Amino acid sequence: MIECGIVTGAAGFLGHIHSKSILDLYAGLVIVDINKKKLEILYKNLKINYPKKKILKFNLDITKEKKIIELEKKIRKKLFFVRVLINNAALDPKPNKNTKKSFNWDKELNVGLKASFLFIKHFSKQMIKKKDGCIINIASDLSIIAPTHTIYKNVFGNFKKPVTYSVIKHGLIGLTKYYAALYGEFNITCNAISPVGIYNNQDKLFLKRLSNLIPMKRLANKSDIKNIIDFLINKKQKFITGQNIAVDGGRTIV
Ligand SMILES: NC(=O)c1ccc[n+]([C@@H]2O[C@H](COP(=O)([O-])OP(=O)(O)OC[C@H]3O[C@@H](n4cnc5c(N)ncnc54)[C@H](O)[C@@H]3O)[C@@H](O)[C@H]2O)c1
């Protein structure tokens, strides 16, 4: 059996980082994304940087349960054991001056919340059999606090962080605690991480406003996220479960 981790929404900004965390510690990786082009680029890049590792890629809409069932079967047939599941995919409308419709309730909840549940439902079966597993749900500081809409004002027109984002991220914490309690006896941990905004070439005024709200006076670096994922997916980490780990420079304590 090839021990591996699976990352949903792997082709996005943070998916790359989670993929590297898994390949640094495990023999295999499964990357899943609806964006075929970006997935291909990530796959090629990872193959170059980790030539000895087994990597599977699947171009898939994760809101379709049938597809997830097929995916789980295909991965099992290849003799991969998915020990780590990272529910990372999201439809996160980035602040944009031209955003007209601010959210789509069903679409966003289906990707951010329902698909996370479906991946746990189908990929936990093998984990339960093996009495070994690690589930991580990628939430946000907005799983703890409400958005501060004023940081976007006049930078991104009238942009407001959509209500769906708060609902999804708070919901993920419920999902995390539920499965941590249910699967504890099977030696499966289930945690959430809640990053504050991560540096990604954002507008200067926006960065200044957000940094001012953070006790450590900066946003997160990609390495801050990689460090916590490295820690959580390490097999030595056996006893922290059901937690929502804020990776936020103190943003949610003030
Ligand atoms: N970037 C940040 O600053 C930040 C901060 C806090 C939390 N987060 C959270 O981290 C996670 C990753 O964020 P990101 O910035 O990398 O986002 P991103 O938009 O760059 O990546 C999300 C990926 O999900 C994929 N996806 C969307 N719908 C899908 C579907 N139906 N099926 C399969 N794949 C689908 C997209 O194609 C994309 O590649 C999200 O859950 C986000 O809310 C991000």
CA of 7 to the centre of ligand 1 (A): 11
Give ligand 1 pocket residues (Cβ under 6 A): 9, 11-15, 33-35, 38, 60-63, 88-92, 111, 138, 140, 195, 197-198
- Say how many residues make up the chain: 254
Question: Is 2-94+101-141+163-197+222-246 in CATH node 3.40.50.700?
Answer: no
Which ligand 1 atom is nearest residue 38's CA?
39
Mean pLDDT of the chain: 96
Per-residue model confidence as pLDDT tens digits over 57-108: 999 999 999 999 999 999 999 999 999 999 999 998 777 666 666 799 999 9
CA of 15 to the centre of ligand 1 (A): 7
Overall average pLDDT of the 109-133 stretch: 98
CA distances from 9 to 26, 61, 184, 191 (A): 19, 10, 26, 18
| pLDDT of 249 | 98
Find, among 146, 170, 179, the residue nearest to 160 by Cα. 146
Which ligand 1 atom is nearest residue 39's CA?
39
Chain centre distance of CA 252: 19
CA of 92 to the centre of ligand 1 (A): 6
Reading across the β-sheet that carries 244-247, which strands appear in turn?
54-59, 28-33, 2-8, 80-87, 133-138, 188-195, 244-247
| pLDDT of 98 | 66
pTM over 0.85: yes
Tokens representing 193? 């991480």
C-alpha–C-alpha distance, residues 254 and 250, integer Å: 7
Domain assignments of the chain as residue spans, ordered by start: 2-94+101-141+163-197+222-246
Per-residue model confidence as pLDDT tens digits over 4-58: 999 999 999 999 999 999 999 999 999 999 999 999 999 999 999 999 999 999 9
Where on the phi/psi map is residue 217: left (φ > 0), alpha (ψ -120 to 50), or beta? left
CA of 13 to the centre of ligand 1 (A): 7
Q: Which residues contact 139 (CB under 8 A, 6 or more apart)?
A: 169, 172, 173, 176, 192, 193, 194, 244
C-alpha–C-alpha distance, residues 215 and 209, integer Å: 12
Task: Identify the helix (H) or strand (E) that includes residue 247.
Answer: strand 244-247
C-alpha–C-alpha distance, residues 65 and 69, integer Å: 6
